[in-house]
């Protein structure tokens, strides 16, 4: 090809896609990844239904097809256990392209699932769907409400250690932030000796430098084997198991979801449920106090076995606003930490502090920026009057998507797209929040 034409082609390829085309492409991605009444995060890498992915997907669907959005939420609860837990993966079938599948998790629920949960964004999404059209949503809300209640109750009883209020994760996968440095110290205390030989599948779909290491994977599998061996006794696992870390992500997301659930209980006039939820919320400040790290000026994870605090700031450190919490002294510090991080990261909030030696702009939850977390942080900031910062985060997310398409996650410094492509939750967040169309709809 002549050099001039080649140059022109290269320049055209470098021009970010137009928002209108991205709206169209986002809808296509949602539809392409639909699998009956649920949606895959992306074909190949993740061939089942994932809990919080599905809830963000419901938000995306609510922009184009509200009925389909409700169906997405309803299908997730087919994976709800008798003890209330809504599982992190609902397998339904065995797909050999994914590891670890149902035969490794060995859950005994009627529909095969994994044995842990994931961040409970569902109640907040259900409130959003209901508010879009209360008349159409009322009956569906009535059916979902008791399921949401028992899932939240499961967290408040099975994922706290005695006397505590912050929510524990007993497997890094439960946090939704698999290989965050938040888990490093506690994970290093898990002895993987004796795990069954296995072969990873994720690294055959995605460049291994963008995925967790085998040191981490051995320990992930040990925790699965431990859970399966004790018949997924969740209370035992939280109190005695090899890994229990208080997670600001789940703690704040659940706190927010509790508030939305209380609102829904009021709509349905479920007075005893309102009182029960108020009992949970009564401990909110105590949980926040436990997670506050004054030295770092942020909320950070904390090992429940040793009491040791994480030594770095992660993106979920900023979800306290989303949770509905303020504290003037802490917030002044938190805002300074946020400003420092925003200054260095033009493509969204990095999943881990760029100034920390463990920051890795490519590796999954150790640095990359994720559209879903940007959205949650910005939503909370906007609700507390930090509109300018919230808009900045929205623009950063928009630019990353315009530059690199609907990737699973992005380099926070360059906007390069990494991980799986045609990713459903990135497309959903585009439709519900990041696109210029969503922004003008919200302002109207």
CB of 407 to ligand GLC, least distance (A): 12
Q: Which residues are catalytic?
A: 178, 408
Phi, psi of 233 (to 5 degrees): -80, 95
Using the minimum distance from each CB to ligand GLC, give the nearer residue, 47 or 415: 47
| Residue 165 structure tokens | 């209020």
Report the C-alpha dihedral over residues 297, 298, 304, 306, rounded to 10 degrees: -30
CB of 119 to ligand GLC, least distance (A): 8
Write out the residues near ligand GLC by the rule CB under 6 A. Answer: 41, 46, 50, 52-53, 176, 178
CB of 320 to ligand GLC, least distance (A): 20
CB of 178 to ligand GLC, least distance (A): 4
* Look-up of token digits 């969503």: 438
CB of 95 to ligand GLC, least distance (A): 14
Using the minimum distance from each CB to ligand GLC, give the nearer residue, 290 or 410: 410
* Look-up of token digits 């909370």: 380
> CA 242, CA 221: separation in Å to the nearest integer?
12
DSSP string over 128-157: HHHHH-HHHHHHHHHHHHHHHHHHHHHHHH
Other Cβ atoms closer than 10 A to 370: 29
Tell me the chain's radius of gyration from C-alpha atoms.
21
CB of 88 to ligand GLC, least distance (A): 7
Using the minimum distance from each CB to ligand GLC, give the nearer residue, 41 or 348: 41
Using the minimum distance from each CB to ligand GLC, give the nearer residue, 280 or 425: 425
Phi, psi of 110 (to 5 degrees): -60, -35
The most distant pair of C-alpha atoms in the chain lies apart, rounded to whole Å, by 75
Using the minimum distance from each CB to ligand GLC, give the nearer residue, 44 or 324: 44
Using the minimum distance from each CB to ligand GLC, give the nearer residue, 52 or 299: 52
Cα angle 118-38-156, degrees, rounded to a multiple of 5: 25
The residues near 128 (Cβ < 8 Å, ≥ 6 apart) are: 59, 62
Cα angle 41-160-115, degrees, rounded to a multiple of 5: 40
Cα angle 255-235-364, degrees, rounded to a multiple of 5: 60
């Amino acid at each position: 090809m002549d050099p001039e034409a080649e140059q022109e082609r290269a320049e055209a390829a470098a021009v970010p896609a137009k928002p209108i085309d991205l709206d169209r492409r986002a809808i296509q991605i949602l539809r392409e990844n639909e699998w009956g009444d649920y949606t895959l995060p992306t074909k190949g890498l993740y061939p089942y239904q994932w809990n919080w992915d599905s809830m963000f997907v419901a938000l995306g669907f609510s922009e184009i097809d509200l009925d389909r959005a409700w169906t997405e939420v309803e299908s997730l609860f087919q994976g709800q256990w008798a003890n209330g837990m809504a599982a992190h993966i609902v397998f339904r079938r065995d797909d050999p392209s994914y590891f670890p599948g149902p035969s490794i998790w060995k859950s005994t629920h009627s529909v095969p699932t994994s044995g842990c949960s994931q961040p409970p964004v569902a109640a907040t999404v259900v409130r959003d769907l209901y508010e879009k059209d209360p008349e159409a949503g009322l009956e569906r809300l009535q059916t979902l409400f008791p399921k949401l209640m028992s899932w939240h109750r499961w967290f408040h009883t099975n994922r706290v250690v005695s006397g505590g209020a912050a929510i524990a994760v007993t497997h890094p996968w439960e946090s939704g932030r698999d290989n965050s440095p938040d888990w490093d110290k506690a994970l290093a205390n898990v002895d993987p000796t004796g795990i069954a030989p296995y072969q990873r599948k994720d690294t055959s779909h995605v460049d291994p430098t963008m995925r967790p290491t085998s040191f981490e994977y051995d320990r992930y599998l040990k925790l699965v084997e431990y859970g399966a061996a004790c018949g997924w006794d969740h209370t035992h696992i939280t109190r005695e198991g090899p890994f229990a870390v208080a997670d600001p992500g789940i703690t704040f997301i659940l706190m927010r979801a509790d508030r939305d659930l209380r609102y829904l209980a009021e709509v349905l006039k479920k007075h005893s449920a309102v009182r029960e939820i108020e009992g949970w919320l009564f401990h909110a400040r105590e949980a926040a106090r436990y997670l506050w790290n004054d030295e770092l000026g942020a909320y950070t994870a904390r090992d429940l076995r040793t009491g040791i605090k994480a030594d770095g700031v992660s993106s979920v450190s900023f979800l306290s606003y989303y949770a509905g919490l303020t504290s003037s002294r802490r917030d002044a510090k938190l805002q300074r930490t946020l400003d420092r991080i925003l200054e260095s990261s033009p493509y969204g909030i990095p999943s881990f502090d760029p100034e920390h030696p463990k920051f890795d702009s490519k590796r999954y939850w150790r640095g990359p920026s994720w559209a879903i977390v940007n959205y949650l942080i910005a939503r909370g900031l906007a609700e507390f009057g930090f509109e300018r910062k919230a808009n900045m985060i929205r623009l950063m997310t928009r630019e990353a998507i315009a530059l690199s398409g609907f990737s699973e996650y992005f380099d926070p410094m360059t906007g390069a797209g990494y991980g799986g492509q045609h990713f459903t939750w990135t497309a959903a967040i585009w439709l519900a929040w990041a696109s210029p169309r969503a922004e003008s709809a919200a302002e109207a």
